[in-house]
Structure 1
């Protein structure tokens, strides 16, 4: 499998995983672009609405950025921590041995 294809598949898997976390209303692309719009990968990483996965230098530790909107009925910090934990656990399943050094950052962009 081509590296870009694998990175895109990883991004999509993490997005699906995070979307299932209780309290996550939906993924958000962050500060740029229309909400919930799928976007092609930019320089250095694959991006699916609200999730960007990159690997600096092609062999450095994985970096995952998650942007999400939380239901107003939930505690924001708890949902953010659960989303980060879910992303790390899914990476560990998909990339055993590589996920331990991964950096996962979750940003809550709004409440609904």
Structure 2
């Protein structure tokens, strides 16, 4: 696998994990990063795929290290939302590679709306 293919595979995993997180009940949205906040100021239509904020995926010796930052709905308990996000992301990443090492998922609830 060359560097470009690995980069595309990484980006696809990040986007998939973001979709999984956004589908978890109680998640209002992924925490936007500075690039997402500034992107609308200088990008127009057709600017390409925007980078996913709120999900960071890094390979490690024991498998993937996934850091997720979300904003939760105020009506939900933050601990329940964080737990549900962790379980959903772990299940999603384990499905394609059941024989591989498990992902270590860290979820931070950065705010409530």
Shorter-chain TM-score above 0.5: yes
The aligned length equals 99
Unpaired segments ≥5 residues, structure 1: 40-47
Give the drift of 1:94: 2.6
* Whole-angstrom distance in 1 between the partners of 2:100 and 2:20: 18
* Whole-angstrom distance in 2 between the partners of 1:85 and 1:27: 16
1:7 counterpart = 2:10: yes
1:35-74 aligned within 5 A: 38-39=50-51, 48-56=52-60, 61-74=63-76
Q: In the alignment, which of 78, 81, 95 is matched to residue 80 of structure 2?
A: 78
List per-residue Cα deviations over 1:17-73 (Å, max 9, x = no partner).
Answer: 0100000000004xx52667743xxxxxxxx211011114xx652110000000000
* Whole-angstrom distance in 2 between the partners of 1:13 and 1:35: 18
Partners of 2:90 and 2:105 within 8 A in 1: yes
- Alignment RMSD (CA, Å): 2.0
